[in-house]
């Protein structure tokens, strides 16, 4: 019997376009990179704490190149892959035998997350480790409230659904990763305006890429959103939260 196709929540075309736009915006000298910087720092610290020294690593989704450079500085042979350049995380990988596969900020927008994790596991060498970091449930609470206020009585889906720690643990067990570890941490950032928050989200490919795009806000809706955002802050500054979840496990 054929397996049931996963629900189509995200648009692959919009996802690729969003990542390409972000990569272009990252060329600016003042581009925000704090989400990736946090993920890279966390992965490097994890490897150091575990005293794990991979020989071959695959890094997916890190357009900053910082993780690859950090690993190469330790003598690791690194392959980099980017969804915006055609790398399909929902298909079998064209290479395998990695001691480490690290995915940064990509798995929250695949339609078949269990399948993507299975492909990661298959591409690992025996004894290899997977570390995947991405935004999770609890992210962007202020923006969610702002969008609800802007839409009024007819709210639209403007922020995509995200997984939590419990779901992450179930996914790792389902995809047969050994010794799974799931944790999350908040990253709080202050913004002077709603436009700056939205700009940072776009520049880091953290926006919604839903298959069914929400309608435009319009001038009145945008005005309500800006007013609600300002009211959520103090002294002209509103703090937003990005909740980063990290899944890790081993291929025995």
Can you spell out the DSSP letters for the chain? -PPPPPP--B-HHHHHHHHHHHHHHTTSTT---HHHHHHHHHHHHHHHHHT---SEEEEES-TT-HHHHHHHTTT-EEEEE-GGGT--TTS--S---EEEEEEES-GGG-S-HHHHHHHHHHHEEEEEEEEEEEE-TT--HHHHHHHHHHHTTS----S-----HHHHHHHHHHTT-EEEEEEEEEEEEEES-HHHHHHHHHHTT-S--BSSPPPP-HHHHHHHHHHHHHHTSBTTBEEEEEEEEEEEEE--
SS3 call for 128: strand
Domain containing 46 equals 12-250
Structural domain contains residue 1:
no
**Residue 80's domain is classified under what CATH number?**
3.40.50.150
| pLDDT above 60 (res 132) | yes
Two structure tokens written together for 161: 């659904």
Total number of domains in the chain: 1
CA distance 37 to 132: 14
- The secondary structure of the chain in percent helix, strand, coil, rounded to multiples of 5, reads 40, 25, 35
Structural domain contains residue 2:
no
Q: Edge-to-edge, what's the strand order for the sheet holding 124-135?
A: 77-81, 56-60, 98-104, 124-135, 238-250, 178-191
Structural domain contains residue 6:
no
| pLDDT above 50 (res 1) | no
Structural domain contains residue 7:
no
Phi-psi region of 92 (alpha: psi -120 to 50; beta: other; left: phi over 0): beta
Structural domain contains residue 4:
no
| Mean pLDDT value of segment 123-143 | 97
Picking from 36-50, 84-98, 150-164, which range would have the lowest pLDDT averaged per residue?
A: 150-164
- pLDDT tens-digit profile of 151-201? 887 888 888 889 999 999 999 999 999 999 999 999 999 999 999 999 999
CA distance 217 to 225: 9
pLDDT band at 3 (very low <50, low <70, confident <90, very high): low
Q: Quote the mean pLDDT of the chain.
A: 95
Structural domain contains residue 82:
yes
| pLDDT above 60 (res 2) | no
Structural domain contains residue 231:
yes
| Mean pLDDT value of segment 42-63 | 96
Q: For residue 197, what pLDDT is reported?
A: 98
């Amino acid at each position: 019997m054929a397996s049931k196709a996963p629900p189509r929540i995200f648009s692959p075309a919009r996802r690729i376009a969003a990542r390409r736009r972000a990569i272009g915006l990252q060329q600016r000298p003042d581009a925000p990179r704090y989400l990736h910087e946090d993920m890279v720092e966390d992965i490097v610290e994890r490897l150091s704490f575990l005293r794990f020294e991979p020989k071959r690593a695959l890094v997916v989704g890190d357009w900053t190149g910082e993780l690859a450079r950090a690993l190469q500085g330790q003598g690791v042979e690194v392959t980099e892959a980017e969804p915006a350049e055609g790398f399909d995380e929902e298909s079998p990988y064209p290479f395998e035998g990695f001691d480490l596969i690290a995915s940064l900020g990509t798995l929250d927008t695949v339609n078949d997350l269990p399948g993507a994790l299975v492909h990661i596991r298959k591409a690992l060498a025996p004894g290899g480790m997977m570390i995947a970091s991405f935004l999770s449930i609890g992210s962007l609470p202020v923006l969610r409230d702002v969008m609800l206020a802007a839409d009024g009585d007819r709210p639209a889906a403007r922020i995509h659904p995200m997984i939590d720690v419990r779901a992450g643990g179930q996914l790792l067990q389902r995809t047969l990763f050994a010794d799974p570890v799931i944790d999350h941490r908040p990253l709080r950032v202050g913004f002077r305006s709603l436009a700056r928050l939205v700009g940072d989200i776009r520049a880091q490919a953290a926006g919604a890429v839903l298959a069914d795009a929400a309608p435009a806000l319009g001038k009145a809706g945008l005005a309500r959103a800006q007013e609600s955002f300002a009211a959520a802050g103090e002294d002209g500054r509103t703090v937003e939260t990005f909740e980063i979840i990290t899944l890790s496990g081993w291929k025995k």
